[in-house]
Amino acid sequence: MEHKDKQHAFQLGVSIFIVLAFLTAPEFLLAVNFPSVPLLVLIALAKAALIGYYYMHIYRLKQAEEGEDRASYAYKTGTARLGLWLFLLSDSFVFGGLLVTRFSLLAMNRPELNQALGLAVTSVLLISSFFMNRAETAMQHGDRKNFLSGTLVTIVLGVAFLLGVVGVEWRTAPFGPGDGAQGAVFYMMTGMHAFHVLTGVLFLLVIFRNGLRNRYTVEKHWAVEAAAVYWHFVDVVWVFFYPALYLIGSVL
Amino acid sequence: MKKILSIGLVRGLVFQMIGTLIGALLVTAVRAAMGLSAFSARTFGFTEPAWVFGGFVGVLAFVYGTRVLDDWIAWARGEDTPEHREDEPGWRKYFSPSLDHKVIGIQYTVTSLLLLSVGGLFALIFRTELAASGLQFLSLKMYNTLMSLHGIIMIVSILLGIAGVMNYLVPLMIGAPDMAFPRLNAFSFWVAPPAAVLLLSSLALGGFDTGWTGYPPLSARAPLGMQMFFLGVWVAGWSSILGALNLIATVLRMRAKGMTAFRMPIFVWAAVATSLIALTATQLIGLSFQLVMFQRLFGMGFFDPAKGGNPILFQHLFWFYSHPAVYVFVLPGLGLISELLPVFVRKPLFGYRWVAMSSLGIALVGFLVWAHHMFTSGMNEYLRVPFMYSTLLVAVPTGVKFFSWVATLWEGKIELPTPMLFTLGAIVAFLMGGLSGPPNAIVATDLHLHDTYFIVGHFHDTMFGGYIFPFFAAIYYWFPKATGRRLNEKLGKWHFWLMTPSFLVLTMGMMRIGLLGMRRRIADYDPALGFDLTHTVLTVAAFLIAISVLIFFYNIYITLRKGEVVTGNVWNSRSPEWQVPSPMPAHNYDRPIEVVGEPYDYSLPDAPYVRFAE
Amino acid sequence: MRHVVIVALFVLTMTFLVYTGLNALNPLPTQAATQAVVVDRMFHLEFIAIAFLFSLITVPLVYSLIVFRRRPGDTGVGRHIEGNIKLELLWTIIPLITVIAFSYMGAQALGDTLRVDPQALQVKVTGFQWAWRFEYPDYGITSNALYLPVNRQVLLRLESPDVIHSFWVPEFRVKQDVVPGRETQLRITPTTIGEYTVRCAELCGVSHAYMRSPVVVVSQEDFDAWVAEKQEESTEATGPDAGRGQKLYETLGCKACHSVDGSEGVGPTWKGLFGSEVELDDGSVVVADEAFLAESIREPGAAIVAGFAEGTMPSYALEESQIADLIAFIESLK
Ligand code: HEA
Ligand code: HEA
Ligand code: CUA
Ligand SMILES: [Cu+2]
């Protein structure tokens, strides 16, 4: 890969996640003051599109350098990458189904939740994606130190998110899972998402450990890319879940 | 003892039992610590959450026990593993994890036939009960459990069967050494046996009485067996999803040189279309079943009207998968028909491209029609008309296939060995099933037909005709490839000529009484309706089918022992796998192949399709 | 070309044979409602299409098998035809038009079955595990059989307290699920006097097979007489009565699980139950007096008899007088 391309990818990643983090704040203010559904959906779409664009970028860059030698690491990585994306496509149907469930059961109502906490965990997760991106880009440059620190920060933020949602929000919410449709929807959506965050954290722990042992190189670090893409995916899901749970509609 | 335990399957089953126990005990301990009731006489000792969690841990333990995860665990540890693994010689390789797609294909196929027998056996049992009105020897609950298990086991059997055929054939047909992800392939297979164990365990855990559709609120009140059903289907769903993922990646990335999209054997197109559905839609049945499981475990009120839930939402989620799923069942079968016809007619498949596109068309339109199962459900009334239009639209690409088949036969030189007989049987049986679809799709007439034996007749014709017939055709056709021996023709013809008429009688009889008012899913019917005679005939037909299947099993047994040895191109096929001697060697083609012609130019004897590199 | 003409003639003959064959079989139940007429018209159109399409595929198939079969000794190949764009377009477009036409007619027919008569008689139907109850709000009566005056539209308002059921009288053709938590509706205009049966068409648990009740279509005069009789009955009904209890036992479906002769069943037998001591699954023992029995019927989950499963017995939305009748019946089973 051209050095310039790498630089470009890195800069793009940084700017996208800064934009994302900043988009969330006005989104929140907007939602609290004028709950306009189309606008919120638009912003959510914008955020997702940004992340999606970033994904595509990496994807294309990678594909270009593969060559035709099927036994090569690059070709195999290309196949694995396709597999991962197919998996994410499949997984997104679960989340889509949950969103359908949420809108079917609650329509234009939303559960009564702690707004400050929601904003906090969302920001934490979006910022974690930024560090994830940093870690991955660092690995592409062969910068192991920054890779490790980036991964570690991502793990810490991921755990903070889990503590925020499962540890605090679940305990302080004024309803339990058995309390009406809102309880069912809220605990199911956050639970399913938290389960994905948890698996993401485990995945990151694995690459962190293997990174410590110096198992990745500039050419061969597919596991790092996979962990990053998975992490971003889990993040995109939350980009849709956050407004669906915290912002859209009026409190039940 | 040690020797037995070295067999993956045995170790898996032992681990599953232990895992289930550990999981259940864990929940029991936690419950005890939290001051909740730890045991319950009503749910067979353990509490329901303990059973469910135990069942889940049992599946994980099974998979771990078979050692399919070993390579991945090594990777997570940062260790490297060898690219290939040599299988044990002889029959033992079929009972342990293997990375060879051909072995996995056969594992799938055999498991599928086994489940087909179990499901068929259940059908025979409850058909015997139905032979006369009144309750003879089954209780109402037992009937419902057997009927529901029959449905779901047959469906799982189909999913495994198509996975088997696709696994075996697709890499060979596109000239690949193996699937894209051999370890994932092994994993997809090895989660299926514990799923089957879970499904069958529901028999011992109180059964369930909801049919294979598991609609709440009924399924939210059913006995414990319900949870095992949900969990089993959920796990089997993962097998299907991961298998589909693997297949798509294989076709996109592993084709031989020159194998462009429109030079692939037509079956590959069908396999891709099927996999697209299985990859995406399957998640929704998993989700819908999960939601009911959680409703039962944690009182979450998704489908409980008393808590603001909506029972109809379940039906939407469920059918969003389960309708496209019927095309998962049938597309590979239709692909096989298109694949085999040209061989035995000695002329090209008529309109290859349009047939290939029709598979994708069926798959895509199939996503837009799910609510035709819910015309009477009380969903929004105005939705029924658009769903009627979209459903009928599927008839168009399906029709393309039928017309192309007929045109393929036209002016050919038709031969009729056993695989061709089953192919033709498939066309006729599936035609009956297909043509009985539009009356269900047209709302006005579905108001009468819904939940009657007409529907039962419809889907046996489509599933049996669209999957079982082609499946048998495929087995007769590729058996020599897999084993180097050819199945006995005479027994094959007995199998066909016994099965086909009995089957047509079975389904036509079902449709007839259905139109006249026979409801489905009932153990006993009103003698005043005058269905006793027809039901007796149906039961006899069912037993004749079973006998024909037994003949088939006997054929396999006798052929494996002393069947005719054939190593060459038995059917004079153009497909690459037949250009090398049978049985297929371990890494498929030792010389890479290159595609240089059209796949189905049977009428141009000198035009090659593939060439082997020097 | 000769082949094509022969096949075309055979297809037409075969279509005719299949269609007349289908009709000769009498494939549909008797028609007893205006909705059935609409639905049957649609059915017959479909039968014609099916007969034609079935012939269109099977005739050339069988014909090819006979005419184009490889003769012994022939080693040749088939004619080289790869496809034919015109033909392929034709067999895409003609079916497309056909299905659109059928969808259109289907939508019209659906509309006809839904046609509203503002004068319709209203009946509130409750489908519960595993029986039907019919309330006539205009007359203040409740019945276990659905009595309908002929040639007058009836609006059935369907409700369920437990699981999904489905209201279906084959002679009326149309069917509608009964969904807990909401009201669904069905309109029927019976046209033929006679006795029919409503059968639950949606699997609703153990005794789904037996969830059926009589539907009686009578003349307007007979209907009025029936209403008057019913109204009298309900004012008369004073004090519990074991005879009525026994009827309820049979019609409500208690029979499916409770025996009256001491034999085993899904639920405990009623023989000798009244006044006996019953052990519950929490270990306590209670006397099966009137209060306990009434409670057990009203809220089956409240106390579970030892050895039986909670959630097996459904909760019926019974009236107090019906419960009293049932208890009187149980009391009579000494
Ligand atoms: C392999 C499985 C399979 C296949 C392929 C199909 C194919 C079709 N099915 Fe079927 N179906 C099932 C399996 C399948 N089905 C099952 C399992 C159920 C019941 C589930 C349950 O409740 O348990 C069911 C139920 C079912 C229902 C719900 C009925 C009810 O419960 O009330 C409906 C309603 O629309 C329907 C319609 C159709 C249609 C229109 C097709 C079409 O795809 C058929 C298309 C084919 C043709 C039409 C024939 C060939 C075409 C031509 C010759 C061209 C010309 C044709 C015309 C112009 C019409 N099916
Ligand atoms: C591929 C799918 C498939 C197949 C092949 C079959 C095959 C058969 N089915 Fe099945 N059926 C379904 C899928 C299938 N079914 C589904 C999905 C339902 C709906 C369930 C629901 O409503 O929820 C259903 C429902 C159903 C009903 C309706 C029940 C009801 O509504 O109450 C009936 C009734 O007759 C029936 C009969 C049969 C018969 C007689 C066969 C015969 O073809 C079976 C022939 C027998 C065999 C193929 C076995 C032969 C093997 C042996 C005899 C060897 C046995 C030995 C050993 C085990 C060692 N089926
Ligand atoms: Cu009520 Cu079936
Ligand atoms: Cu369908």
| Residue A167: CATH number of its domain | 1.20.120.80
Element (H, E) at C214: strand C212-218
Contact (CB<8Å) B413/C76: yes
Over residues A181-192, the mean pLDDT reads 92
Beta partners for residue C132, in sequence order: C127
pLDDT tens digits along B583-612: 888 778 888 888 888 888 888 888 888 888
Give domain status of residue A77, yes or no.
yes
Distance of CA C269 to the CA centre of its chain: 30
The predicted-structure confidence for B4-36, as pLDDT tens digits, reads as follows: 777 888 899 999 999 999 999 999 899 888 888
Pocket test for ligand 1, best of B373, B442, B468 (most atoms within 8 A of CB): B373
- Band of pLDDT at residue B394, cut at 50, 70 and 90: very high
Looking at per-residue confidence, does B90 or C249 come out higher?
A: C249
- Could you tell me the two tokens for B115? 């489940």
Rounded Cα–Cα distance for residues A128 and A124 (Å): 6
B331 CA distance to ligand 4 middle (Å): 14
* pLDDT confidence of residue B90: 74
pLDDT of residue A67: 66
Contact B411 C78 (CB under 8 A): yes
Say how many Å lie between the CA of residue A55 and the centre of ligand 1.
40
User: Which residues of B are less than 8 Å from C65 in CB distance?
Assistant: 409, 414, 416, 424
- Domain-located, residue A33: yes
Which residues face A34 on adjacent strands?
Answer: none
Q: How far is CA C124 from the centre of its chain?
A: 17
Distance of residue B243 Cα from the nearest chain A Cα, in angstroms? 11
Element (H, E) at A47: helix A37-64
pLDDT band at B460 (very low <50, low <70, confident <90, very high): very high
Whose CA is closest to B602, among B359, B259, B265?
B265
Nearest CA to ligand 3 atom 1: C165
Give the mean model confidence (pLDDT) for residues C7-19.
92
Q: Could you tell me the residue range of the domain that residue A197 belongs to?
A: 6-251
Which of B76, B245, B307 lies closest to A83 in CB terms?
B245
Which of C48, C62, C64, C74 is the best mutation test for B, with the most CBs of B within 10 A? C64
B352 contacts B266 by C-beta, under 8 angstroms: yes
Residues B29 and B140 in one domain: no
B358 touches B351 (CB < 8 A)? no
**B393–C99 C-beta distance less than 8 A:** yes
What is the share, in percent, of chain B residues with pLDDT greater than 90?
Answer: 63
Same domain, B174 and B68: no
Is there a single domain that holds both residue B221 and residue B338?
A: yes
Atom of ligand 3 minimally distant from the CA of C164: 1
CA atoms of B440 and B352, how far apart (whole Å) = 30
Sequence-ordered list of residues with C-beta below 8 angstroms from that of C118, at least 6 positions apart, any chain: none
Find the mean pLDDT for residues C162-184: 92
CATH of the domain at B183: 1.20.210.10
Point out the ligand nearest to the CA of residue C165.
3
Q: B381-385: list long-range contacts, CB under 8 Å, 24+ apart.
A: B381/C114, B384/B443, B384/C110, B385/B443, B385/C103, B385/C107, B385/C110
pLDDT digits (tens, 9 = 90+) for A99-153: 999 988 988 888 888 888 888 888 888 888 888 888 888 888 888 888 999 999 9
Task: Answer whether residue B476 shows pLDDT above 90.
Answer: yes
* Same domain, residue pair B198 and B64: no
pTM: 0.90
Closest Cα to residue B518, out of C28, C219, C144?
C28
**pLDDT for the residue numbered B441:** 94
Question: Do residues B281 and B237 make contact, with C-beta atoms less than 8 angstroms apart?
Answer: no
Shortest CA gap B370–chain A (Å)? 14
Q: Which of B46, B77, B108 is the last residue of a domain?
A: B77
Residue B40: pLDDT over 80: no
CB A188 within 8 A of CB B300: yes
Ligand 2 contacts CB of residue B555 (under 6 A): no
Give the number of A-B residue pairs with CB atoms closer than 8 Å: 104
Domain identity same for B401 and B450: yes
pLDDT value at C234 more than 80: no
pLDDT over 50 (residue A2): no
Is residue B329 within 8 A of residue C63, CB to CB? The reply is no
Q: Which of A132, A153, A154 minimizes the C-alpha distance to A16?
A: A132
Q: In the structure, which protein residues have their CB atom closer than 6 angstroms to any atom of ligand 1?
A: B 213, 326, 329-330, 372-373, 391, 394-395, 398-399, 402, 434-435, 437-438, 440-441, 446, 449-450, 455, 458-459, 462-463, 466; C 53, 57, 95, 98-99
pLDDT at C103 over 50: yes
Chain-wide mean pLDDT for chain C? 87
Q: Which residue of C has its CA nearest to B353?
A: C83
**Structural domains counted in chain A:** 1
pLDDT tens per residue, range C181-230: 889 999 999 999 999 999 999 999 888 888 888 899 999 999 999 988 88
pLDDT of residue B585: 81
- With cut-offs at 50, 70 and 90, classify the pLDDT of residue C139: confident
Candidates C57, C174, C202; nearest CB to B406: C57
Which span out of A76-85, B70-79, B271-280 was modeled with the highest average pLDDT? B271-280
Which residue's C-alpha comes closest to atom 7 of ligand 2? B120
C-alpha B507/C-alpha C30 separation (Å) is: 23
- Kindly give the distance from the C-alpha atom of residue C271 to the centroid of ligand 4, in angstroms, as a whole number: 48
Q: What is the mean pLDDT of residues B467-481?
A: 94
Nearest-angstrom CA–CA distance, A16 and A24:
13
Kindly give the number of the ligand 2 atom that is closest to the alpha carbon of B467. Answer: 1
pLDDT(B452) > 90: yes
- Taking CB atoms and an 8 Å cutoff, what residues of chain A touch B180? 79, 82-83
Element housing A72 (H / E): none
The shortest C-alpha distance from A30 to chain B (Å) reads 29
Instruction: Give me the mean pLDDT over the B212-224 stretch.
Output: 89
Note whether B278 and A150 are within 8 A (CB): no
- For residue B562, what are the contacts with CB-CB under 8 A and spacing of at least 6? none
Residue B462 has pLDDT above 60, yes or no: yes
Average of pLDDT values for B33-41? 79
| Mean pLDDT calculated for residue range B484-491 | 92
Tell me, in angstroms, the distance from the centre of ligand 4 to residue B165's CA.
24
β-strand partners of C158: C125, C184
Q: Please tell me the least confidently modeled range out of B531-535, C49-53, C304-308, C311-315.
A: C311-315
- A3 or B457: whose pLDDT is higher? B457
Closest to B220 in 3D by CA, of B233, B210, B206, B212 = B210
The minimum CA-CA distance between B318 and chain A, rounded to whole Å, is 10
**Residue in A closest to B290 by C-alpha:** A188
More confident residue, B318 or B380: B318
Same domain? B230 vs B135? yes
Tokens matching residue B462: 């489509």
Q: What is d(CA C128, CA C111) in angstroms, rounded to the nearest whole number?
A: 29
B299-315: string of b/e by CB count within 10 Å (b at 16+)?
bbbbbbbebbbbbbbbb
Please give the pLDDT value at position C15: 92
Predicted pLDDT at A252: 65
Q: Output the pLDDT for position A1.
A: 41
Q: CA–CA separation, B244 vs B278, rounded Å? A: 6
- Encode pLDDT of B102-146 as tens digits: 999 999 999 999 999 999 999 999 999 999 888 888 888 889 999
Quick one: tokens of A172?
């302080």
Asked whether the predicted pLDDT for residue B273 surpasses 60, the reply is yes
Q: Is B569 exposed, middle or buried (0-12, 13-18, 19+ CB in 10 A)?
A: middle
Tell me, letter by letter, the H, E, C secondary structure of B399-449.
Answer: HHHHHHHHHHHCCCCECCCHHHHHHHHHHHHHHHHHHCHHHHHCHHHHHHH
Q: How many residues does chain A have?
A: 252
Question: Which of the residues B314, B430, B445, B455 would you substitute to probe the C interface, choosing the one with the greatest number of C C-beta atoms within 10 Å?
Answer: B445
Q: Is the pLDDT reported for residue B447 higher than 90?
A: yes
| Residue of chain A nearest B283, judged by CA positions | A94
Q: State the amino acid at position B190 in one-letter form.
A: W
* Domain span at B453: 98-612
Does residue A1 lie in a domain region? Answer: no
CA B495 to CA B391: how far, in whole Å? 35
Residue C122, pLDDT > 80, answer: yes
Nearest CA to ligand 2 atom 49: B120
Of the listed ligands, the closest to the CA of B327 is 1
Residues of B in contact with A87 (CB under 8 A): 245
What are the residues whose beta carbons fall under 8 Å from the beta carbon of C63, sequence distance 6 or more? C3, C6, C7, C10
- The answer to whether residue A62 sits within a structural domain is yes
Mind telling me how many Å the CA of A235 is from chain B's nearest CA? Answer: 20
Same domain (yes/no): B50, B130: no
Residues 6+ apart with CB under 8 A from C46: B438, B439, B442, B445, C102
Shortest CB distance from A89 goes to which of B254, B279, B291?
A: B279
**Which of B118, B154, B518 to probe ligand 2 with, by most ligand atoms within 8 A of CB?**
B154
Note whether C92 contacts B: Cβ–Cβ < 8 A: yes
Q: What is the number of structural domains in chain B?
A: 2
- State which H helix or E strand residue A203 sits in: helix A180-212
Q: Is B554 in the pocket of ligand 2 (CB under 6 A)?
A: no
Least confident among A52-56, A180-184, B262-266: A52-56
Q: What is the pLDDT of residue A58?
A: 66
| Average pLDDT rounded to a whole number, residues C105-114 | 91
Kindly state whether residues B300 and B211 are assigned to the same domain.
Answer: yes
In whole angstroms, what is the distance from residue A196 CA to residue B554 CA?
49
List the alpha helices (DSSP H) in A65-179: 73-106, 115-141, 144-162, 170-172
Distances from the Cα of A42 to the Cα of A22, A27, A49, A240, C244, angstroms: 15, 10, 10, 11, 65
C170: contact with B, CB 8 A cutoff:
yes
Q: How confident is the model at residue B200, as a pLDDT?
A: 93
C28: left (phi over 0), alpha (psi -120 to 50) or beta: beta
**Comparison of pLDDT for A249 and A198, the residue scoring more:** A198
CA distance B170 to B246: 11
- Rounded-to-integer distance, Cα C81 and Cα B347, Å: 7
Of all protein residues, the one whose alpha carbon is nearest to atom 34 of ligand 2 is B127
pLDDT of residue A8: 67
Chain A positions in Cβ-Cβ contact with residue B292 (cut-off 8 Å): none
Shortest CA distance from C67: residue in chain B = B411
Cβ contact B291–A188 (<8 Å)? yes
Residue A35: is its pLDDT beyond 70? no
Chain B neighbors of C25, CB-CB under 8 A: 512
Q: 3-state class of C185 per DSSP? A: strand
Comparing B540 with C161, the larger pLDDT belongs to B540
